[in-house]
């Protein structure tokens, strides 16, 4: 048997109980009033066959699911039960009201174009049977009551059937919409993960490889003339290699930046400034205010933006000085990275990328920083002009605890 919902099982139980009550009362009435003659045995046998067919129906020919076309086996069962009931009605008018369960079975399983005519035929047979056995003057209720009851039952069941069909359509649309939404979210998640990977690689491995290349090229140029300087360049490249390897391992395990392992954000920025300082470039760090506890993702975002901004300074700005300034206020924390380099026309770079993937014609640095800030609820601005240096600023609002009401 197919699985049904609890409400369908309760409805089927009510219908089955009604059928057996009507069948039992009809049989008792036949035995008490209509029995006699040679037909008694046939009528009892028909009552037994009628009951047996009804009981075996859900097992041999289960009703189709709501909204589905009736199967051939179910139609054969419905026709057989109806035919036995008609013969029984001719021999024993006491079986008249057993038509109600048949009416429900037909309306429940058949489409309206078939169930409504079936209901009309069953109702007509009930009226004919009632009139045939009537004694004395004709009672108008015998003619009016069965069609009225059948009309109400038919209207209610057809309405419920159509309402159920509309609900099934809505449920199918909802399931399809949820499936499409899940697919869209998966695609968005894939794109976001790709963007995260691209940003992490750019701010860690790519910057480290770029620095190593510059140092190795410098070592190659002075290898013959100044071996001591060449060895110094190679030593710095080895340090960068070790640091990049640590970042790569933490990146694979989705951990915070290595500089934040066991130390605060100001300490990490101080270490970054010292590490980026060298011949031709001096980087300083200044802290304004007292930093409070910050979410790990905000600390990581600020450090990554500082790393990316200083990488741009080193590679593109031709600056001699740069400054990191971390400003801690009650409602926000901000980081400024300023340099005295060549600057650039900020207007084309200030256009935010239209999608999640930065514009490759302008490089990955500033768009990646802007995306990092936005993902953490912050904003990033760039102030620059040719020959006047550059200032990259990121500000992140802080969620303050709601003021507590005074205790009376």
pLDDT at 253 over 70: no
Segment 274-289 shows an average pLDDT of: 88
Q: What per-residue confidence (pLDDT) applies to 311?
A: 83
**Distance of alpha carbon 23 from alpha carbon 29, whole angstroms:** 10
The hierarchical CATH code for the domain 263-398 is 3.30.565.10
For the segment 37-43, the average pLDDT, to the nearest whole number, is 75
Residue 392: pLDDT over 90: yes
Maximum distance among all Cα pairs of the chain, rounded to whole angstroms: 135
Write out pLDDT tens, residues 223-237: 888 888 888 888 888
pLDDT band, very low/low/confident/very high, at 339 (cuts 50, 70, 90): very high
3-state secondary structure 200-256: HHHHHHHHHHHHHHHHHHHHHHHCCCCHHHHHHHHHHHHHHHHHHHHHHHHHHCCCC
Output the pTM of the full model.
0.45
Least reliable range by pLDDT among 69-83, 99-113, 150-164, 302-316: 99-113
**Closest Cα partner for 305 from 202, 399, 209, 212?**
202
- CA 153 – CA 150 distance, rounded (Å): 5
Question: In the chain, which residues fall in CATH 3.30.565.10?
Answer: 263-398
**Average pLDDT value over all residues in the chain:** 78
């Amino acid at each position: 048997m197919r699985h049904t919902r609890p409400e369908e099982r309760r409805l089927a139980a009510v219908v089955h109980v009604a059928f057996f009550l009507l069948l039992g009362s009809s049989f008792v009435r036949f035995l008490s009033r209509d029995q006699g003659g040679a037909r008694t045995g046939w009528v009892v046998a028909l009552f037994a066959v009628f009951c047996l067919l009804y009981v075996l129906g859900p097992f041999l020919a289960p009703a189709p699911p709501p909204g589905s076309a009736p199967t051939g086996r179910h139609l054969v069962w419905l026709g057989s039960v109806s035919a036995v009931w008609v013969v029984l009605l001719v021999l024993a008018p006491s079986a008249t009201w057993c038509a109600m369960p048949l009416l429900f079975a037909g309306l429940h399983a058949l489409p309206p174009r078939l169930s409504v005519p079936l209901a009309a035929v069953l109702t007509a047979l009930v009226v004919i049977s009632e009139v045939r056995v009537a004694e004395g003057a004709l009672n108008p209720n015998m003619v009016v009551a069965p069609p009225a009851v059948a009309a109400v039952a038919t209207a209610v069941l057809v309405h419920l059937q159509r309402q159920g069909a509309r609900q099934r359509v809505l449920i199918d649309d909802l399931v399809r919409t949820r499936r499409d939404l899940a697919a869209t979210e998966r695609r968005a998640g894939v794109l976001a993960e790709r963007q995260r990977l691209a940003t992490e690689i750019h701010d860690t491995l790519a910057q480290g490889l770029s620095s190593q290349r510059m140092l190795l090229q410098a070592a190659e140029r002075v290898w013959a003339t100044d071996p001591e300087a060449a060895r110094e360049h190679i030593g710095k490249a080895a340090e960068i290699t070790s640091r990049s390897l640590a970042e790569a391992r933490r990146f694979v395990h989705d951990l915070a930046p290595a500089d934040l392992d066991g130390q605060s954000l100001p300490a990490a920025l101080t270490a970054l400034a010292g590490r980026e300082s060298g011949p031709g470039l001096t980087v300083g760090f200044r802290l304004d205010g007292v930093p409070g506890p910050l979410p790990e993702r905000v600390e990581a975002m600020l450090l990554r933006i500082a790393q990316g901004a200083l990488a741009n300074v080193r590679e593109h700005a031709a600056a001699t000085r740069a400054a990191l300034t971390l400003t801690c206020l009650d409602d926000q924390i901000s980081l400024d990275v300023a340099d005295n380099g060549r600057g650039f026309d900020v207007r084309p770079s200030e256009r935010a990328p239209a999608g999640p993937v930065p514009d490759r014609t302008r490089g990955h640095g500033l768009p990646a920083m802007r995306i990092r800030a936005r993902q953490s609820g912050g904003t990033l601005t760039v102030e620059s002009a040719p020959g006047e240096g550059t200032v990259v600023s990121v500000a992140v609002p802080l969620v303050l605890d709601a003021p507590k009401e005074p205790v009376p």
